[in-house]
Amino acid sequence: MLIYYITPMPNFYATTPIYYVNDRPHIGHAYTTVLTDVLTRYHKLFGFDAFFMTGVDEHGQKVQKVAAARGISPQEHVDEYSEHFRNLWPKLNIDYGYFIRTTDAHHKKFVQDSLQHLFDKGEIYSKEYSGWYSVGEERFFDENELIDGKDPISGRAVEWINEKNYFFKMSNYQQRLIDCINENPSWILPEFRKNEVLGFLKKPLNDLCISRPKSRLSWGIPLPFDQDFVTYVWVDALENYISGVQNKKYKDGSPLWPADFHIIGKDILTTHCIYWPTIIMAMGWELPKHILAHGWWLIDGSKMSKTSGTGVNPMDYIENYGVDVFRYYLIREMVVGLDATFSHDSFVRRINSDLANDLGNGLNRIHKLTLTNFDGKIPACAEHGEQEKELENLCQKAIDFTKKNISEAKLSLIAEEILNPIKALNRYLEATAPWKLAKSTEQKDKDKLATVLYAGAEVLRIALALLSPVIPQKAEQGRLMLGLPEFSEESLKFGLLKGGEVLGKGEALFPRIQEET
């Protein structure tokens, strides 16, 4: 009897933070979302059933204030501003699976049910509370956390507030959280952020204030057990990661939660690595598998964002230089975890060197030489010699490196590694000079020309496939230009072209940016 073993498709669910809708999207939002999109696309390429969710965080004081200043209701404001985000994503080639809004009825019900559950379990109690409140961060700070009497994150003023509120017994979970972090060394990435969280946990953990009186903040989800209060916006927001996928299933029928990756910026580390896991523990849910905190995009040394007034509008770069080029810059230029400086000069330099000079040049040369010498069909390889073996090895190295490092989202290193076979291809073209071989009448030169163009097409096929999560549209155009088969995990192997593949039309996919710096 024959027994067929079917390897199950591995699953992957990632999340972006849900964005505040008090202003328009800026490069910070664009970066987190592109990073998550690229990570998800890599998993798809490697055969995963991969899904990611993004969305908007619509409750809280900031939105209430902005709406009041505009003279409209919070609901009108969020309906309008959530569209700025939803409309931006297709323009950035973002292929999300679901867009959640925290004003969605199913989300509100999920949050209320979970709070009722915690209340019934005795995990929530009420008391009079005084503390320093930052509207910017939507949270209280302890006196010793303030810097020069100001919010330690945004540097803005804080207000002293005294009121009754509801508290979650977060302190009960301190030791369990410390143990969990120590037992799962790659749970919080990168490692120095894990250490930062452990450092924070050396001090006794306070209980978490999870409510706001309606008299002060009406724009929130009412507490199911006390209608005079609404839920603290962070509790509402964090639960989106589960509420948004509670009715979704992978193709194999299993639930999406727990998420494989929460992608966040470093400014929201505490909320994701302390508040969220302790709520999860109290609820008895499963913990997410990884929380990855990236750094900030800086300009002139300060964070680029909606509030600093220095926001570079990603739209300008998309329109001026093209979406995939912009995505490439974000991914290649920022080492995930560290800060990076966005500058027009570095943008021009990076695009000209990696995409115009290296990838674009290789692509154009192979296309043109194949068109003129082999009637627009990729020739079969005549001899796989030492030089070609070296290219093959570099391709294999790039494939292995990508597969290995994707589990920790080391995307800038991956992009760098993928460029190696392309750079080697251009050196190989200089060394073998196919334009000279094309003029020769000797058979051995004709054979070498076929080999060079075959090897070139193979390097480009593999490099374009490996870069396709970063530059999906351009990679597809490059694939069609060389008449290559569709990208898939199985096709990530040098030497699969048969010869005879028919080229498409040539295009300058990566024009050089002419403003020299």
Binding part of the chain for ligand MSP, among 4-12, 232-240, 414-422, 432-440 by CB under 6 A, reads 232-240
Asked if 236 touches ligand MSP (CB under 6 A), the answer is no
Quick one: 17 or 277, whose CB is closer to ligand MSP? 17
- Alpha-carbon span 479 to 465, nearest angstrom: 8
Q: Does 275 help bind ligand MSP (rule: CB under 6 A)?
A: no
Applying CB under 6 A, does 304 fall inside the site for ligand MSP?
Answer: yes
Give yes or no for residue 74 binding ligand MSP (CB under 6 A). Answer: no
| Stretch of 169-177, 283-291, 303-311, 398-406 contacting ligand MSP, by CB under 6 A | 303-311
- Beta pairing partners, 261: 14
Asked if 244 interacts with ligand MSP (CB under 6 A), we say no
Q: For residue 149, is it left (φ>0), alpha (ψ between -120 and 50) or beta?
A: left
Single residue of 41, 101, 212, 303 touching ligand MSP by CB under 6 A: 303
Sequence-ordered list of residues with C-beta below 8 angstroms from that of 223, at least 6 positions apart, any chain: 112, 115, 166, 211, 229, 230, 231
Residue 264 interacts with ligand MSP (CB under 6 A): yes or no: yes
Residue 52 in contact with ligand MSP, rule: CB under 6 A = no
- Asked if 305 touches ligand MSP (CB under 6 A), the answer is yes
Please give the structure tokens belonging to residue 305: 């964002």
| Using rule CB under 6 A, residue 38 touches ligand MSP | no
Q: Tell me the window of 6-14, 194-202, 265-273, 491-499 that interacts with ligand MSP (CB under 6 A).
A: 265-273
Q: By C-alpha distance, which of 366, 501, 360, 512 is closest to 429?
A: 366
Q: Applying CB under 6 A, which part among 186-194, 300-308, 362-370, 435-443 lies near ligand MSP?
A: 300-308
With respect to ligand MSP, which residue has the nearer C-beta, 293 or 466? 293
* Smallest distance, ligand MSP to C-beta of residue 453, A: 42
Does residue 28 interact with ligand MSP by CB under 6 A? yes
Q: Is 367 in the site for ligand MSP (CB under 6 A)?
A: no
Checking DSSP bridges between strand 49-57 and strand 98-101, what pairing results, if any? parallel
Total number of residues that touch ligand MSP (CB under 6 A): 21
**Least spacing, CB of residue 59 vs ligand MSP, in Å:** 10
CA distance to 61, 119, 221, per residue, from 227 (Å): 18, 14, 10
User: Own/partner pairs for 102-107, CB < 8 Å, 24+ apart?
Assistant: 102/18, 102/55, 102/56, 102/57, 102/58, 102/59, 102/221, 102/236, 102/237, 102/240, 103/58, 103/59, 103/75, 103/78, 106/243, 106/246, 106/247, 107/239, 107/240, 107/243, 107/244
Question: Which residue do the tokens 């050396």 mark?
Answer: 202
Helix (H) or strand (E) holding 100: strand 98-101
Contact positions vs ligand MSP (CB under 6 A) = 17-20, 28-29, 31-32, 57, 237-238, 240, 264-265, 267-268, 296-297, 303-305
